[in-house]
A and B are shown apart, each in its own frame.
Chain A
Amino acid sequence: MIRLENVTKRLLGKLVLDEMSLHVRRSETYVILGPSGVGKSVTLKLIIGLMKPDSGRILIKGNDIAGMNRRRLFEFRRMFGFLFQSGALINWLNVFDNVALPLREERKMAEDQIHDAVLRRLQLVDLEGTEEMMPDQLSGGMKKRVAIARAIITNPEIILYDEPRTGLDPIVGETINQLILRLQEKLNATSVVVTHDLHSAFKVGNRIGLLEKGKIIAEGTPDELRRSNEPAVRKFIDVTAVKP
C-alpha cells in the first residue's frame, strides 16, 4: 500500500533520512517509533507529499507521489486522513464546520448528507453536542478527537497519525489509543502512526519500525520487538520503560 524506497531527505543541510526504506501493508497499523527529532514527522510529510524527497521513491498504491503535479496531488490526497500533532483545526471555524470542511470542499454531497455524516463522525469520537464550539474552547484531547473526526470524514483508505498522544495526560492519551483501535476495526484503513511513546506503539501497532539515524533499524510485531536482542532496540525499550 505504502512503499518508501531508499528515501533520502536533508533539512537545512542536516541529513534526516538516509536511504530509508519502508513497506506498509494494506489494512495494517504500522507504527514508526523513535526518539524526538529522528525524522518521524518528516516521513509522514513525505508520504502525503507535503515534502519531496531529495532522492528515492515514495509509492502509494503504486503511484509515485513525488512526481505528481500540484493538481493531481490535491486529488490524490483525498484518499488520506491526517492527524496533526497540534490538531491543526481551522481557528475561525466551529467544530461542525471544521469536520465538514473536507466534504464541503469535495462538493459531492448535499448539505443535509454532510450534516448527517459530521454528526456520525462526532459520535464515533464521543463528541456529540460540541458542534457549535470553537477550537479555542476545546481541551487538548477534544481538539485531537475533532481532528480525528475531520481526518476520517471522507472514509480515507490511509490514515496518518502524527504523535497522537503528545501533549495529553495519560488518561486522555489512552482514550486516543482506544479510538485509533476502534477506527481500525470500523474503517479497516491502512494506518501509519508516528510516536516516541512505546506504550502507545505496542498498543495500537500491528507492526512497528524503529527509526534511528535516518533508517528503520529494526522492524516487527510488538511481540517480536519486545523479545528482540538487538542492542539499539533493547536500549530504546529499556530507556523508555524505566520512565515513570
Chain B
Amino acid sequence: MRQEQNTRSRAGIVPFPGPLAMTGRALVSACQSAGETLGLLAATIANLRFLPTRARETIDQMYYYGVSSIAVNSIFALFSGMILAFNSGLVLRELGMSQAIGSISAVAFCREWGPIMTAIILTARVGSSMTAEIGTMKISEEIDALEVMGVDPVQYLVLPRVAALALMTVALTMISDFIGIVGSALVGYFQINVHYRTFYNEAVLFLRFKDVVCGLVKAFVFGALIAVVSCSQGLRTTEGARGVGRSTMYAVVSSLIFIIIIDLLITKAFFM
C-alpha cells in the first residue's frame, strides 16, 4: 500500500484527501479569511478620520457602484412588491382581510425585504466586481505599487469603497422600499381590489418609525460588510486569473452568509 502511494506521488499524482482532511482545511481557510476580514474592518475604522481627504474617490465609487445599480434594483423591487402582494393578498382575501395588504407590504419592505433584497443585488453586482477589480490589481502588482509609493491601500482603495457602498445601500434601500410598496399597491388595486387610499391608510397605521430605522441600519451595515468582505477577498488573491475567479466566488458566498446572520442579529436587537 505504502509502496503504491510512493509510486503515485513520484508520478506526480496527488492523493485525494479524505473528508476529514477536506473539512479541516475548509475550516482553517474560513477562519483565516474571517480573521483577515475582521482585521481589514478594524483597519478601515481606524482610517475613518481620513475619509474627508478621500471625498473625490468616495463620490466616484458612489456613482460607479451605486447610481448604476438603481435600474436593476428598481426592477427587482417593483416585481418583488408585486409578488409579495399577490401571495399575501390572495390569502388575505380568503380571510376577508384584503385591506391588510397595505400594512404587510409596508412593514415587510421597510423592515426586511428592502434592505436584504438590495444587499443581495449589490453582493452579486457590486461585491463581485469589487473583488475582481482588487484581485486583478493584486496579481498585476498594482497593490504592491501603491505600497511602495507610500500609499496605504486601505486608505486609497478600501475606505472609499466601504463608505460609498454603505451610503449607497441606504439610498438604494429607500428607493427599493418605495418602489416595492408601489408595486404592492398596484397589484392590490388591480388584482385584490384594495383601493389606493385604503392601502395607504393601512400602511401608515401599522408602519412604525422603528421599522424604517431598522431597515436603514441594516442597509448601512450590509453595504459596509459587502465592501469589506469583497475588498478583503480581493486583497487575498493569488494564482492569477483562476485566483481572481475563486476570490470572487468566496466574496459572494461569504457576504451572503454574513448578511443573513447579521440581519437576524439586528432584527433581534431592534424588536426583542
Q: For residue B156, which residues in chain A have a CB less than 8 angstroms away from its CB?
A: 105
CB pair B147–A50 under 8 Å, yes or no, is yes
A48 within 8 A of B: yes
| Residue of B whose beta carbon sits closest to that of A76 | B150
- Option from B53, B136, B142, B150 in Cβ contact (under 8 Å) with A77: B150
Q: Please, how many angstroms separate the alpha-carbon atoms of A97 and B162 in the complex?
A: 23
CB pair B142–A74 under 8 Å, yes or no, is no
| Residue of A whose beta carbon sits closest to that of B147 | A50
CB pair B150–A105 under 8 Å, yes or no, is yes
Q: Mark A73-92, 1 if CB is under 8 A from B, else 0.
A: 01101101010111011110
Q: For residue B147, which residues in chain A have a CB less than 8 angstroms away from its CB?
A: 50, 74, 77
- Option from B142, B144, B151 in Cβ contact (under 8 Å) with A91: B142
- Option from A50, A74, A89 in Cβ contact (under 8 Å) with B144: A50
Q: For residue B140, which residues in chain A have a CB less than 8 angstroms away from its CB?
A: 86, 88, 91
Q: For residue A107, which residues in chain B have a CB less than 8 angstroms away from its CB?
A: 53
A220 within 8 A of B: no
CB A148 to nearest CB in B, in angstroms, measures 13
Q: For residue A102, which residues in chain B have a CB less than 8 angstroms away from its CB?
A: 149-151
Most interface-central of B141, B145, B151 (chain A CB within 10 A): B145
- Option from B53, B142, B148, B150 in Cβ contact (under 8 Å) with A90: B142
CB pair B148–A80 under 8 Å, yes or no, is yes
Residues of A within 8 A of B (CB): 45, 48, 50, 70, 74-75, 77-78, 80, 82, 84-86, 88-91, 101-102, 105-107, 150
CB A155 to nearest CB in B, in angstroms, measures 13
- Give how many B residues have a beta carbon under 8 Å from the other chain's beta carbons: 16
| Residue of A whose beta carbon sits closest to that of B136 | A91
Q: For residue B136, which residues in chain A have a CB less than 8 angstroms away from its CB?
A: 91
Interface SS of chain B: helix
Q: Which of B120-169 contact A (CB under 8 A)?
A: 136-137, 140-142, 144-152, 156
Known: A82-B149, A90-B146. 12 other contacts (CB 8 A): A48-B148, A50-B148, A74-B150, A75-B150, A77-B148, A77-B150, A84-B144, A86-B140, A88-B142, A102-B149, A105-B156, A150-B149
Q: Please, how many angstroms separate the alpha-carbon atoms of A106 and B156 in the complex?
A: 13
CB A125 to nearest CB in B, in angstroms, measures 17
- Option from A74, A82, A90, A150 in Cβ contact (under 8 Å) with B152: A74
CB pair B141–A101 under 8 Å, yes or no, is no
CB pair A88–B141 under 8 Å, yes or no, is yes
User: Can you list the 9 inter-chain pairs with the closest CB atoms, starting with the nearest?
Assistant: A88-B145, A88-B141, A82-B148, A78-B150, A102-B149, A77-B150, A74-B150, A105-B151, A84-B141
Q: List 18 A-B pairs, Cβ < 8 Å.
A: A50-B144, A50-B147, A50-B148, A70-B152, A77-B149, A78-B149, A78-B150, A84-B144, A86-B140, A86-B141, A88-B141, A88-B145, A90-B145, A102-B151, A105-B150, A105-B151, A105-B156, A150-B149
Q: For residue B148, which residues in chain A have a CB less than 8 angstroms away from its CB?
A: 48, 50, 77, 80, 82
Q: For residue B137, which residues in chain A have a CB less than 8 angstroms away from its CB?
A: 90-91
Q: For residue B150, which residues in chain A have a CB less than 8 angstroms away from its CB?
A: 74-75, 77-78, 102, 105-106
- Option from A45, A75, A82, A106 in Cβ contact (under 8 Å) with B145: A82
Q: Please, how many angstroms separate the alpha-carbon atoms of A167 and B142 in the complex?
A: 18
CB B222 to nearest CB in A, in angstroms, measures 26
Q: For residue A86, which residues in chain B have a CB less than 8 angstroms away from its CB?
A: 140-141
CB B260 to nearest CB in A, in angstroms, measures 33
| Residue of A whose beta carbon sits closest to that of B157 | A90
Q: Please, how many angstroms separate the alpha-carbon atoms of A150 and B144 in the complex?
A: 14
Q: Please, how many angstroms separate the alpha-carbon atoms of A150 and B156 in the complex?
A: 17
Q: For residue B151, which residues in chain A have a CB less than 8 angstroms away from its CB?
A: 74, 101-102, 105
Q: For residue A78, which residues in chain B have a CB less than 8 angstroms away from its CB?
A: 149-150
Most interface-central of B144, B146, B149, B152 (chain A CB within 10 A): B149
Q: Please, how many angstroms separate the alpha-carbon atoms of A38 and B136 in the complex?
A: 26
Q: Please, how many angstroms separate the alpha-carbon atoms of A74 and B148 in the complex?
A: 7
Q: Please, how many angstroms separate the alpha-carbon atoms of A2 and B77 in the complex?
A: 60
CB B35 to nearest CB in A, in angstroms, measures 17
